[in-house]
Structure 1
Amino acid sequence: MMNRRTLLTGAAAATAVVAAGGYARSWSAAEPVVPDVPVGDERLEQRHSRARGRTVDFYTAVPAGHGDGRGLPVCLVLHGASKTAADFPALGLGRFVTDSARRGNPPFVLAGATGDRLAWRPSGADDPQRMVHEEIPAWCAERGFDTTKLTVAGWSMGGYGSLLLAETFPRFVRAVAALSPAVPLGDEVLTHAAALRGVPVGLWCGTEDGLLPRVRELERALPQPKAAGSFSRGRHNFAYWSTCLPAAFDLVARVNA
């Protein structure tokens, strides 16, 4: 397990930190904008995943001031194709979850593991979706987190995987926050969108992102209006997604309140 000093050093080197609440930035900025707030109990461990048939990185983050997070609900985090769970500390996710609580939202913890580039789908005996559905909640329960209240958030491939998870396992998650979800043309996430009825869905996408037409198509396919989200200037990168995370976490917190 990496210690907190290592995590914070990596995060400081890789991200731009601004004052809490100061998410305004040039739409073309290259670096993520991360709240200038403390990191709480943030851990990167290794767990053996039977679903994936390998050892994976398992990440958790508790808001600063909330101890080890015992009793708090969980937001599952699904990474995109260019990142893994090992990158979450450097992306500042632990600061975003602290910021959410400090802005008055009910606190929650983040939990995610490495799914590689399988689009959060089964590939032979390697099943990252089953890992998210079965194993991550079990690992979270071992830590004392409240796994009766689960939400999911993800970007790009992870945004797609979040929607697919909610459709595949109805009532498994209470809400979905999908940032620039990489939904293929004609994919089942679009054709089976009715399975999201009753699940608050947040959708965000940059207007300079080539995926925007598909995300708008997904919005039209939802069985009810999206619960949160926006289409504003930005590209398909974490510099843009970092400006969306506060609103995404507002949705997550509101649903679990």
Structure 2
Amino acid sequence: MLSRRGLLAGSALALLAGCSSAQPPPGPPPVPQPAHPSGLSEPVTVQRMPSAARGTDVDLVLITPEGVPASGLPVCLALHGRGARARTFLSLGVPELLTAAVRAGTPPFAIAAVDGDHYWVNVGGADDPQRLLTDEVPGWLAARDLRPPSAVFGISMGGFGALRFARAHPDVKAVATASAALFVSWPDARSRKLFADEANWRAEEPLLHTADLRPRGLGVWCGESDPFRGADRRLVQAVAPEVSRFTPGGHDDQYWRGVLPEILKFVGERLS
């Protein structure tokens, strides 16, 4: 296991959560998967895990509040943006923000992040990030004495994936998106050169399946200068989520850092 101090050392070059970066991820390389996983002993751990669902190895990043026993904590999945990685949540300061939220009174919970792609859905082929979240991550958490995921949070592309996960798992207690990358039309989606075809996009696009989303436990955050603001407003109009916040900011890490404390509080209160 890597210690939180070791992971964060040398992380001055932060990764953006919504765009690709040529810089390496913060911290040293992850340790291999242990032969016999056990309960967490550090507030932050990173391990390399083989994913059959994605056909490759992925980072599993686990974050727990400092000073709180990890055993049995509820878990919120954290889904990163396009071009980023699970470690992005370390460079965004989530470990410190989670600890601060819990010390301020938010009920404690753990955050689990993994490497994803393709807007966290299957766009054809053998790479299926949603199957990773549904079929593999719960077992990885159980091996470390954590509960199955009962909440999900996503940034940009991760917001798309979080809403897709919520459609398939209506029992989740909290769903939060920041700058969710949603598409109001097929030409808009096609410009991303990601989906196999229009039918693939229509099957996955959250804005076309708003009846599958529950207002209770849903929180939507977006910057007023974000290019996805219009699409996110359509989501709010269609679902009437429990919380919606449109405040100054763009599609960047400065905005996400600013709203993360409110999002962590939102999630923690609904997981208690």
Q: TM class by shorter-chain length?
A: 0.7 to 0.9
Write the letter of the residue equivalent to 1:208: S
1:53 and 2:52 correspond: no
Residue 198 of structure 1 deviates from its aligned partner by: 5.5
Corresponding residue SS for 1:119: helix
CA contact (8 A) 2:220 2:244 kept: yes
1:181 is matched with which residue? 180
Residue 8 of structure 1 deviates from its aligned partner by: 2.1
Corresponding residue SS for 2:58: strand
Corresponding residue SS for 1:10: coil
Instruction: Indicate how the Cα distance of structure 1 residues 133 and 10 shifts in structure 2: closer, same or farther if over 3 A, else same.
Output: farther
CA contact (8 A) 1:228 1:248 kept: no
Distance 1:237 1:175 in 2: 23
1:121 and 2:121 correspond: yes
Write the letter of the residue equivalent to 1:107: P
Identity %, equivalent residues: 39
Write the letter of the residue equivalent to 1:241: W
Distance 2:253 2:63 in 1: 19
TM-score, normalised by the number of residues in structure 2: 0.79
Write the letter of the residue equivalent to 2:224: T
1:28 is matched with which residue? none
1:70 is matched with which residue? 71
Give aligned pairs, total: 226
CA contact (8 A) 1:229 1:248 kept: no
Write the letter of the residue equivalent to 1:251: F
CA contact (8 A) 2:2 2:46 kept: yes
| 1:78-101 deviation line (CA, Å, top 9, x unaligned) | 000031013322221111211110
Corresponding residue SS for 1:104: coil
CA contact (8 A) 2:216 2:241 kept: no
1:209 and 2:226 correspond: yes
Root mean square deviation, CA, Å: 1.6
| 1:197-255 deviation line (CA, Å, top 9, x unaligned) | 26411001111111111100010111xx3222310110101110111111111111111
Residue 3 of structure 1 deviates from its aligned partner by: 3.9
Distance 2:93 2:267 in 1: 17
Distance 2:52 2:136 in 1: 8
TM-score, normalised by the number of residues in structure 1: 0.83
Instruction: Indicate how the Cα distance of structure 1 residues 66 and 72 shifts in structure 2: closer, same or farther if over 3 A, else same.
Output: same
Write the letter of the residue equivalent to 1:4: R
1:192 is matched with which residue? 209
1:221 pairs with 235, 238, 247, which one? 238
Distance 1:4 1:174 in 2: 28
CA contact (8 A) 2:154 2:178 kept: yes
2:8 is matched with which residue? 8
CA contact (8 A) 1:179 1:203 kept: yes
Unmatched tracts of structure 1, length 5 or more: 16-39
Distance 2:103 2:58 in 1: 31
Runs of 4+ in 1 over 6 A off after TM superposition: none
Corresponding residue SS for 2:68: coil
Residue 2 of structure 1 deviates from its aligned partner by: 4.0
Unmatched tracts of structure 2, length 5 or more: 15-41, 186-201
